[in-house]
Amino acid sequence: MPDEKLKKLCDNATAAHARIQQEFITINPIVGVSQHMRQNGVPADAMTIECFGSDKRIILVLHDQAPDLISYQLTYKDKDPEKAFMRIPFSEMTADKLYELIKEYFA
């Protein structure tokens, strides 16, 4: 199940990324996926979306224990994430939602 959710999130991020690049010349987000948390015994996957121009970062975490939720945080590349993450239902983290997060936070 985690791989299916991660694949869906990646598909949504790809669609949002393509739209952002078409509409905003100054925003060129870099999307990364990490399964390092699993390698360290934490049953979760992470995605980061970064904007090098502003050093801003969006972190999204998919926890196996809460497969219907996504934890996310708007932060900066040079700062450790806060402990508190916002949570939304997985079904609401659509390509449109990711597009809006990227547009609003990076623009």
pLDDT digits 0-9 by tens, 49-102: 999 888 999 999 999 999 999 999 999 998 888 889 999 999 999 999 999 999
Give residue 64's pLDDT: 94
Q: Is the pLDDT of residue 1 over 70?
A: no
Number of H helices, E strands in the chain: 3, 5
Sheet containing 69-76: order of strands: 30-34, 44-51, 56-63, 69-76, 86-89
Q: Of the candidates 61, 80, 79, which has an alpha carbon nearest to the alpha carbon of residue 6?
A: 61
Residue 3 has what pLDDT? Answer: 85
Say how many domains are in the chain: 1
- Between residues 13 and 81, which one has the greater pLDDT? 13
Domain containing residue 36: 2-106
**Residue 2, pLDDT above cutoff 70:** no
Closest CA to 50 of 73, 66, 68, 67: 73
The pLDDT of 28-48, averaged and rounded, is: 93
CB contact at 8 A, 53 and 105: no
Q: What is the pLDDT of residue 57?
A: 96
- Are 61 and 85 in contact, with CB atoms under 8 Å apart? yes
